[in-house]
Structure 1
Amino acid sequence: MLAIVSAVLFFIAFLINAADISTNDTFRSTNVMLLGLAVLALHLAGIGSGWSRGGRRR
């Protein structure tokens, strides 16, 4: 799920950069891209991958 959020953030950053849309300093393409990288890092770390079962399976 976090990988999809990351891809959407990267796409928004690309659109802001490609269309040369002037936004305020909070939503610049670099900041949106860094948010996408942070979400991607959380995905790769295993956060948000779903519920894990309690206990060990044998």
Structure 2
Amino acid sequence: MTSGKRSTRRTAKPKPCPDCRTGQVSESFKVGTRSKRESTDRQEALCLTCFGTGQAAE
């Protein structure tokens, strides 16, 4: 048995998503029955680039 220092591999720090940074984006939406006008309100949606993780794909 040898006593020695074990080397451990460091993992890279995850990079934030370039599109959202949090995993969610805000989007506008349309309201109405026929004319479908654009609403001034915003709603939160899942980021399709990172699928809600907030980390960039490698």
Q: Which is bigger in relative contact order (C-alpha 8 A, separation at least 6)?
A: 1
TM-score bracket for the superposition, by shorter chain length: under 0.3
Whichever structure has more strand as a proportion of its residues is: 2
Task: Return the index of the structure with the highest Cα Rg.
Answer: 2
Bigger helix share = 1
